[in-house]
Structure 1
Amino acid sequence: MSKILSCGILRLFRGNTRLSNKFLKQHKIWNPKFEKQYQTQIIANSKFKFDLENHNIRSEIRDKEYKPSNDPDTFGGSYCLSDESDDADDLKEEEYIKELPSRDKETIKYARCIKRHLDKRQVKEALDVLEVEMKRDRIHPDRYIFNLLISGCAKVGYTRKAFKLFFKMKQYGLKPSGGTLTSLFNACANAPTISDGLAKANRLREIMIESDLQPNEKNYNAMIKAYGRCKDLSAAFQIADEMREKCFLIQTETFNFLLQACASDMEFGFRHALLIWHKMKRNDVRPDIYSFNTILRCVKNCSIGDLESMYDVINDIINKSKNFLKEGEGELKVIASNENGGSCVQTSESNTNISSATQTDLVLPKEVFYANDVPNLLCSNPHLGNLIKINEIRKPEDRLLLIGGFSGFLREMKFNKVTPNIETFTMLLEVIPSTNSAEKTLISTIKKDGLKADIDFFNTLIKKRCLRFDYDGAKEVLNMIKSVKLKPDIFTYGILSLSCKTKEEARELLKNMKQRDMSMNTQILGAMLNQGCRNQDFDYITEIMQIALDEKIRPNEAFLCHLSKFNQQCAKLVNVRHKISKSLEFQRNYKKFREHLHMWYEENGISGLTLEEQIEKVKRNPYKKFKEKTKADENDTVKKKKIRKHIKNVKLHDLSINENKEKAEGS
């Protein structure tokens, strides 16, 4: 009884040490250990320091210990001086008080649980910790919990949930930190749709202005990243200007995000990237590996735009370069030698303004020439070499030539003391000429630099050979993968599906996937379906449709377009009475195909709809994967199983058996 009462009174007067000590002394249940313990606790929790010697309450017998008497008539027991130690109950009481869980300890426990789920990309389970477990235990989340969940949702592109957590955080009265804003803009950058990401980014900027939230450098970089990926280049550059106005130092990371913004502009991104690159050079900001890799992405995806503007950009780059000297009047000017050892010679009659070329042929001035004939608009001394016209630059390999080509690009990296990684060579593989000799040169350079190719590099090599219809060369890459002790992944088989021209090859590929416990997807079946439609192989097409049903793979837009286009082509042949349509084999196969197509549409719930309506219906909610499967969806699956009775059931493990039967019938 004494123990319980003293513990309760100490809790009651925890906020007022003087009152609690006085109360306990008057009722003779005083223990100086409690005084020392709670004084220490008050000091630890206080923002200010004070001296214990000036405290009004001081025990005159601090070094003595008390032992309660055994008189049952005395309330709380009378205490007398004793040299003996505390009894077992007092020790247990002290241990119990020390082990009382605080709110911070509880929050840390939930935070660690959330981090474990996020490390495994289990977003739904991490959200359940906040929405189910903490709500059940009546634990109020703090800002750290919300920042963890917002950051986790941002990484996987769960943009809507990230903003819902942000608004819920404000309802709890928690002020967002700089990390909160950075995660929210990252959520906008990783949004599944550009429109959704852009709308959320604009709304967040409005909230920051209304709440007078001043962004820091990381916030600005995240804003540039978000607007760049959402293809709003003007907003991205305005934010960069705002950084400079507020005296923020524009560093390599900011320029890299600006280059990412340029890569999102498919029409004018290449020339924007050149301007940003030389702006970085003039500001004495050294590029890093991400800068060079982003330039290669611009080379791959972006065109040069209209020719007149491109000439203006080239003229601006050359005139503003550090080693470029203006032409003199009536004399010959020798410009400083470039890094490749070549020197530029220019006559007084030459016109340095490239934009003054005629608009009909847009020919670059021939008077400017270099010892090195390869153009390079990326180096410190940008030049065009022996390039006369740029109106035929359309392919990525042509744009790579403008920045020095394969060897010139690597020399520029070496000049800036940047070591290429395997990602650099993977992106170079996508922009070099599509020839075996160019690929061998690149592979030998990788071996010379001591780098080890990863599976992404080999996947790119397979894709490059498949796109030039070198299917045998693409299959040879599998031996290369095996020689470096790597294993094919789902992307490897997805790219190899482009080479499956017959159903036998498709069966072999699906059989290998099953042996490696890899499940097929819509992209793989769509690539096979495309090959079957090109070759007008009705059996191949029907089999792919059946596999999609058996594996419960919903079609995507490309899958539906392939089927619709093939059906229209066959109907057109019949309408115009083409000689192919007059054969009995074509008529029989086309009739079976139409029957299978009608039942396949019914199975997927898109029968009687136009192509646009079908595409709209099969479109998936990008946020659906973050949610649990509803009971309604499970009931729909059961109903679909009952409908399927007219279509032949083909299982993957029966593919090899069916293949042997067909061979036997043919013999």
Structure 2
Amino acid sequence: DMTMVLRVIIRNRLSENLRHRFLLNEPVDVILMFGQIMQRNSFTLMCSSLRAHHCPDDVNNPVKEVCPQDTDSRDGFIFARDIPDRSTQSYRVQFRSLILEKKLGDALAIHDKIVSKDKRLIDRSAYNILIWGCGKYGYSRKAYELYTKMKESQLAPSNVTYTSLFNSFANSPYKSESLKLCEKVLRDVKKFDINLNYINYHAMIKAYGRCGDILMAFDLVDEMMSKKIPVNSETISFLLQGCLSQTESGFILAIMIWGKMKQYRIPRIIQHYNLLLRITKSCGVKEAASLHVFLMKNPTFFLPISLLDTESNASENTSKLLPITKKSRDDSAFSNYDSPEKRYNGLGGLDGLLAMMKKDKIKPDIKFFTNILELVPDCDTSENEILNAMSINKVQPDDVFLCMLMKKRCSYNNYEGAKEVLKLFNEYNVKLNVLVYGILATTCRTANDAKMYLESLDSNEIRLNVQILGCMLNNACRSLDYQYIIYLMKQYKIHKITPSKQCLKSLANAHKRGRQIELDIDNNVDVPKKLRQRIKRISYKHFVMSYRPWIKLVRNSEADPWEQFTVKYEDD
């Protein structure tokens, strides 16, 4: 009996998982995957024999003998074209392995071939794996398309499906489009009355927060609490991530969340401190008055009005963070926190934050000190305080921290201090990387400096990238050295590097400033001698003539971040 023979072979050759599937009367699945082990000819013959033995009464779908020329082997899996109801287990395995190998485009191409060309259906688990892959890389448009096809195939989306969908929206580079997709999927969730768990809610909070709708994220927290789903430290992390998207009012939102954690007895973790420091750097308090009005109209909102209304309900740590009085009712109350440095001091500075962490029984990590480094004043004293605190807390600097320290010293022209950082690389056994060379690019002040620097990159086999060129271009634009700018524009074309948005903005400012200085000279307006000489040089005229064609060229070469996933399936 063929089945008995195969049972013995599989028991000795296949994994426990596949043996279990075979014993559960799924022999076709096992044989299809067993094709990786057995020779091709004998595999196809046994496949047809076993199929006939397993489904003798299948009159509507008679099984043909599968010949070698009727099968398609690709990437180690056998595609038997003459078995119409073949299980999708091998597809699921292949999709997952391709996604983990960062080949999402290949997985999507195989799916398109299966569905459109071969007219086969895949099950819900296979769809979930593909949507999970799209979520991993932020391919929100394709994730929603797969979700739509899933419903058209009359496959009910599961909780895993919705988690992966909202993860794709959260990681998408196109926030406004993803926010619209969030609304569509949320309507489906309510329409089908899906019983959401805390993982679903976290994915939704993350998506709405990162896409800019922070109020909806807080509504979801309210919904969690009304359903008695615990709000924990992970929930707070996603809320703080949402605050990062609010550049105008994110800081005051984060402070309110910080005060509310005490009331709900939610323990703080190191990620909360790191996110708070990032918010302190990037977000302001400009919309405090309008936010106060909203909170007064929504008393059941997760955020408390205690910070703006009464200090009695605020946590002890919060009142120490920002001493805001009960009379505060407009933006003027927050005028003292209009810069990152002032907001950092409002948090208590390095000593105050370390004291709070000690009280919360949290040990600082290297990310904490890296975030602190971006907020302290530009001076050796503040930087040495951080290094001393790291030594006391037994935190060893990594390459990112040391590169940030070097960059900070270069920013206020402390080039000797930046060279001292190179000694710290040796002291802490940290290897030099491309980031170090990128920061050293900021020391290039002329086209000749840049030429020597690029030669050193070639000799050390360091590849020129957009960050290194961007540092040099920003310096050139700041000093209006048009000869230097033209040289760097040529390097972009030679190395086929697409400039960042910040570089294009710096270049546009250099063009605008040059035009304005030229007009001032024509109108006999007093212009510094150094700038007057640079405008009269031939390099400026060359820059004016080549600027617009160059901008047009690089903008046409800008790549869509999703282009890497649009791989077309080619037949053998």
Mark yes or no: TM-score above 0.5: yes
The yes-or-no answer on 1:206 pairing with 2:187 is: yes
The yes-or-no answer on 1:238 pairing with 2:219 is: yes
Alignment of 1:44-443 (within 5 A): 44=24, 97=50, 107-132=88-113, 140-305=121-286, 314=307, 316=309, 318-321=311-314, 354-356=325-327, 391-443=335-387
| Cα offsets for 1:496-551 (capped at 9, x unmatched) | 43332122332343334334544333443233123223333333122111111111
Report the AA paired with residue 562 of structure 2.
Y
Query: Match for 2:498 among 528, 536, 554?
Result: 554
Alignment of 1:497-508 (within 5 A): 497-508=441-452
> Residue 359 of structure 1: CA displacement?
8.6
Structure 2 residue matching 1:392: 3-state secondary structure? helix
Query: Match for 2:411 among 467, 470, 480?
Result: 467
Distance 2:103 2:281 in 1: 34
Number of residues of Structure 1 aligned to a counterpart in Structure 2: 490
Structure 2 residue matching 1:319: 3-state secondary structure? coil
> Residue 472 of structure 1: CA displacement?
3.3
Say if 1:105 and 1:446 are closer, same or farther in 2 by CA, change over 3 A: farther
Distance 1:461 1:217 in 2: 40
Report the AA paired with residue 598 of structure 1.
M
Distance 1:113 1:510 in 2: 43
Structure 1 residue matching 2:561: 3-state secondary structure? coil
Contact 1:278–1:317 (CA under 8 A) maintained in structure 2: no
Larger relative contact order (C-alpha < 8 A, sep ≥ 6)?
Answer: 2
Distance 2:355 2:544 in 1: 56
Contact 1:188–1:201 (CA under 8 A) maintained in structure 2: yes
Say if 1:618 and 1:164 are closer, same or farther in 2 by CA, change over 3 A: same
Contact 1:413–1:420 (CA under 8 A) maintained in structure 2: yes
* Runs of 5+ consecutive residues of structure 1 not aligned to the other structure: 8-39, 47-91, 325-337, 341-351, 363-389, 607-613, 631-667
Which residue is 1:451 aligned to?
395
Which residue is 2:545 aligned to?
598
Distance 1:146 1:414 in 2: 46
| Cα offsets for 1:393-429 (capped at 9, x unmatched) | 3332322232332122122222222222211221122
Report the AA paired with residue 240 of structure 2.
L
Which residue is 2:563 aligned to?
624
Report the AA paired with residue 277 of structure 1.
W
Structure 1 residue matching 2:394: 3-state secondary structure? coil
Contact 1:266–1:301 (CA under 8 A) maintained in structure 2: yes
Distance 1:452 1:249 in 2: 36
Say if 1:571 and 1:317 are closer, same or farther in 2 by CA, change over 3 A: same
Distance 2:259 2:188 in 1: 35
> Residue 436 of structure 1: CA displacement?
1.4
**Under a length normalisation based on structure 1, what TM-score does the superposition of the two structures give?**
0.64
Contact 1:446–1:452 (CA under 8 A) maintained in structure 2: yes
Distance 1:236 1:396 in 2: 25
> Residue 259 of structure 1: CA displacement?
2.0
**Under a length normalisation based on structure 2, what TM-score does the superposition of the two structures give?**
0.73
Contact 1:580–1:586 (CA under 8 A) maintained in structure 2: no
> Residue 202 of structure 1: CA displacement?
0.8
Report the AA paired with residue 621 of structure 1.
D
Structural RMSD (CA): 4.2
Query: Match for 2:424 among 462, 480, 493?
Result: 480
Say if 1:393 and 1:339 are closer, same or farther in 2 by CA, change over 3 A: closer
Contact 2:534–2:540 (CA under 8 A) maintained in structure 1: no
Query: Match for 2:537 among 589, 593, 597?
Result: 589
The yes-or-no answer on 1:514 pairing with 2:440 is: no
Distance 2:458 2:212 in 1: 40
| Cα offsets for 1:6-25 (capped at 9, x unmatched) | 99xxxxxxxxxxxxxxxxxx
Distance 1:596 1:503 in 2: 14
Distance 1:582 1:246 in 2: 68
> Residue 596 of structure 1: CA displacement?
5.7
Contact 2:247–2:283 (CA under 8 A) maintained in structure 1: yes
Contact 1:189–1:227 (CA under 8 A) maintained in structure 2: yes
| Cα offsets for 1:239-277 (capped at 9, x unmatched) | 111111222122221122122222322222222212212
Aligned residues: percent identity? 30
> Residue 194 of structure 1: CA displacement?
1.8
Distance 1:583 1:425 in 2: 40
Report the AA paired with residue 262 of structure 1.
C
Alignment of 1:530-541 (within 5 A): 530-541=474-485
> Residue 192 of structure 1: CA displacement?
0.7
Report the AA paired with residue 311 of structure 2.
I
Report the AA paired with residue 361 of structure 2.
K
Contact 1:270–1:304 (CA under 8 A) maintained in structure 2: yes
> Residue 319 of structure 1: CA displacement?
0.8
Distance 1:307 1:170 in 2: 43
Which residue is 1:365 aligned to?
none
Report the AA paired with residue 560 of structure 2.
N
* Runs of 5+ consecutive residues of structure 2 not aligned to the other structure: 5-19, 27-44, 55-77, 293-304
Contact 2:309–2:326 (CA under 8 A) maintained in structure 1: no
Contact 1:556–1:619 (CA under 8 A) maintained in structure 2: no
Distance 1:628 1:42 in 2: 35
Which residue is 2:35 aligned to?
none
Distance 2:415 2:316 in 1: 48
Report the AA paired with residue 245 of structure 2.
S
Distance 1:488 1:211 in 2: 55
Distance 1:482 1:629 in 2: 48
Distance 1:42 1:399 in 2: 63
Structure 1 residue matching 2:337: 3-state secondary structure? coil
Between Structure 1 and Structure 2, whose CA radius of gyration is higher? 1
More moved, 487-496 vs 278-287:
487-496
Structure 1 residue matching 2:336: 3-state secondary structure? coil
Distance 2:311 2:530 in 1: 65
Say if 1:316 and 1:291 are closer, same or farther in 2 by CA, change over 3 A: farther
> Residue 314 of structure 1: CA displacement?
3.9
Distance 2:392 2:468 in 1: 35
Higher helix proportion? 2
Distance 1:533 1:353 in 2: 42
| Cα offsets for 1:170-208 (capped at 9, x unmatched) | 233222111110111111111112211211111111122
Distance 1:605 1:466 in 2: 32
